[in-house]
Amino acid sequence: MSGVLAARKVRVDVPATTANLGPGFDTCGMAFAYTDTIEVEVFEAASGEQPSVRVDIQGEGADYLPRDERHLVVKALREAGRTFGLSADTGLHLTATNRIPQARGMGSSASAIVSGVTAAAALAGLDVAERAVRDQIFEISARLEGHPDNVAPAVYGGLTVSWKDADEFRTVQYPVSEDIHAWVFVPDFELSTQKAREALPETVPLKDALTNVSRVALLPAALGRADNALLFDATLDTLHQPYRAPLMQPSADLVQFFRTHGLASTISGAGPCVLLLHAGDITDTVRALADEQLSEAHWRMLHVPVDRAGVRAERIS
């Protein structure tokens, strides 16, 4: 082997994430304590044989996600393994327990990439809790994903604001009040990020851009102070959601319904999940409003705490 394995089997837990939070298009993200879990075991390929990959999947996506080298966790692990000095000739057994809905705007692809990169770091004996290691995981994952908005909160937890400076991805974290509660409404239909991006215009009116700039500047203060009035204003978007609404009209209608009741609501990521944020637990109120507007057969409601730890890894053997 070209690299020395410090572990043969590791477990990684990675949180779901939301991106944009309304006005912070491709920039803002936040993590939820609603995790996907993977276990990765590595073994030597027999002499002269190609390394085999076995993938077992439980939960979301189990009926259609690939079970070979095409699986996103495996691809990310292999790519990161080059950086961390792992051999490409090892066999892999991946067990994935998926809770994060696929193609719904909760960061499922970012979570898969982050978990694969983190698994590679842990197999190489690196301490994922160390900031320098996390920074490396973030940089590799953001490069593989192509944008950092979901990757950053998956790695670091909490609220993040990310950007690209020349060829380097950067991010900063902001504190989120313990009083902030989040609800995610998951519809029974999917929407690919690519299709959602294709709906966006090349240019937007200056007044819409100015609206978003002013609102996104409020987000860290609103979430840090747990100020519902600020939170309502800070989650207004005019830059991307209006153009994507026809692709997920039930979701757009639900956002508008909640906002007419004075609640901070927005599309989660590229959609079609709907995010609602509030200072204080108003689950009964949220559930009553949802029951008024939604068909139980087509939507799930998740009450998800904010995750402040980010990805976690442990050595099993």
The model's pTM: 0.94
All structural domains of the chain, each given as residue ranges with its CATH number in brackets, are 9-176+307-316 (3.30.230.10), 180-305 (3.30.70.890)
The crossing angle, in degrees rounded to 10, of helices 72-84 and 108-123 is: 40
Confidence at residue 317, expressed as pLDDT on a 0 to 100 scale: 85
Q: Is the pLDDT of residue 49 over 70?
A: no
CA distance 111 to 113: 5
Decide if 282 contacts 181 (C-beta within 8 A): yes
115: annotated binding-site residue?
A: no
CA distance 22 to 181: 16
Q: Which helix (H) or strand (E) holds 314?
A: strand 312-315
125: annotated binding-site residue?
A: no
What's 125-184 look like in SS3? CCCCCCHHHHHHHHHHHHHHHCCCCCHHHHHHCCEEEEEEECCEEEEEEECCCCCEEEEE
Confidence class for position 252, pLDDT limits 50, 70, 90: very high
109: annotated binding-site residue?
A: yes
268: annotated binding-site residue?
A: no
105: annotated binding-site residue?
A: yes
103: annotated binding-site residue?
A: yes
The DSSP bridge partners found for residue 30 are 18, 159
Taking only the tens place, the pLDDT of each residue in 222-242 is 999 999 999 999 999 999 999
